[in-house]
Amino acid sequence: MLGVMGGQLIVKWVMKNKVQILTGIVFSLLFSSCREKDVIPIVELHPQKSIEVLSDSSLFSKVRRMKAYQGDIFITEVGRGQILRLDADLNLKNTIGGKGNGPTEMVEMEGLDISGDTIAVFDVGNARIQFYDLSGKHLGAIPFRDLPIGNKWDLSFCAGEIVCNNSRIALDSAFVRMSVKDTSDKAFFGRLDRFDSEMQTYIRNGHFFFEDGEWLWAVSDNLPFLDRYDRFGNHVERYDFSQLPVIKDAIAYVQIQQKKTNSYATLINGACFDSERKRMYLLCNSWIEGEFFRNRILVLDLSSGKIQPECVWKLPDDVYRTMCLVGDKLYVFNGSRCLIERFGV
């Protein structure tokens, strides 16, 4: 009898409070949905193809940069002092430059970009920027003495202009844009992040650059920031991704390490941009239980005008050096095993 009466009371209570109950269920579902959207999926990638020996029977030694252009992959092979041009199936098409101190040769290449079938590359060992066409013909060079180049050897080359990191930090500008034809035609711009010492300010304002129509994107290598500038050099926005799990733990690890005034730890070791998909890809450094890894790529969606984290790609080995994309294929240099891998994405 008591059980029946109790059941009747419960039914009456439910009927009386059904609006509140339904409202609570709806809010619970919405909250659950929002929580699911906050979780960034981790996608494990598996290589479709890999090569450690080129078609000319040579091995990779020290790959610093990779750049996709018109369906081909251009690679700075520092050990050979050359840029290697590969097709999408990783076959060697031609080589550019050679190792040495001659006018057409290179030593310790760094930043690489391509515009209008012209290649621009930092020839750090010879203190100049070299220019070649796609077949390897040397087009000229600009000596560093004409350039206020900062510590980070990266550049953007577009429409006859070079953008690179600025060494003249007293000007309170992080970057410099200059004409290739007339290097005296310079414009200083960009948000400069100040640190505890002038040396730290000088060495820690390095960025990767990507031109995107009317925008210039700049990615810090040691701060969790992606900055956007208009074509006049005005700062438009800063996206802070420090709270994303893929980078948050790395920041915490770096902050407790002993700091030296003339060095710093990087968070982002490589970056590339897909102008068609409007995606930014950041190769992140991470420390898990004190062990170093560089095998996670943060994918940021820029297509809606609002920067959003899309996912994290996890690569199978421990350490990778640089990357680029051709269509739906990701090409990465595997630093653990000294080979190039291709993944479907």
Domain that holds residue 276: 41-344
Residues contacting 247, CB < 8 A, separation 6+: 224, 241, 267, 284, 286, 298
Q: Tally Cβ neighbours within 10 Å of residue 274.
A: 19
Torsion sign over Cα 143, 78, 166, 211: positive
163 falls within a domain: yes
Give the count of alpha carbons within 13 A of 180, CB side only: 20
3-state class of 186 per DSSP? strand
Helix or strand holding residue 220 (H, E): strand 215-220
Helix or strand holding residue 32 (H, E): helix 18-38
Q: CA-to-CA distance for 35 and 340, rounded, in angstroms?
A: 37
Residues contacting 275, CB < 8 A, separation 6+: 212, 213
Q: What single-letter DSSP state applies at residue 106?
A: B
327 falls within a domain: yes
19 falls within a domain: no
- Token pair, residue 169, equals 């930090």
Q: CA-to-CA distance for 248 and 242, rounded, in angstroms?
A: 5
Q: What single-letter DSSP state applies at residue 337?
A: T
3-state class of 212 per DSSP? strand
The predicted pLDDT at position 145 comes to 83
CATH of the domain at 340: 2.120.10.30
The predicted pLDDT at position 343 comes to 98
Bridge-based pairing of strands 138-143 and 82-86 is unpaired
222 falls within a domain: yes
Bridge-based pairing of strands 82-86 and 72-77 is antiparallel
Place of tokens 């999408």: 88
Nearest 5°: the CA angle 64, 69, 70 is: 155
Helix or strand holding residue 16 (H, E): helix 2-16
33 falls within a domain: no
> pLDDT tens, position by position, for the chain (345 residues)?
444 444 454 445 445 555 454 444 434 444 433 333 458 999 999 999 999 998 887 889 889 999 999 999 999 999 999 999 999 999 999 999 999 999 999 999 999 999 999 999 999 999 999 999 999 999 999 998 877 877 778 999 998 999 999 888 777 999 999 999 998 899 999 999 999 999 999 999 999 999 999 999 999 999 999 999 998 999 999 999 999 999 998 999 888 887 788 899 999 999 999 999 999 999 999 988 888 999 999 999 999 889 999 999 999 999 999 999 999 999 999 999 999 999 999
Torsional class of 323: left (φ above 0), alpha (ψ -120 to 50), beta (otherwise): beta
- Token pair, residue 28, equals 């619970």
* CB 31, CB 324: distance < 8 Å: no
6 falls within a domain: no
Place of tokens 């101190």: 101
Q: CA-to-CA distance for 261 and 271, rounded, in angstroms?
A: 26
31 falls within a domain: no
Please tell me the pTM assigned to this model.
0.86
The predicted pLDDT at position 11 comes to 47
The predicted pLDDT at position 37 comes to 45
68 falls within a domain: yes
3-state class of 340 per DSSP? strand
The number of folded domains in the chain is 1
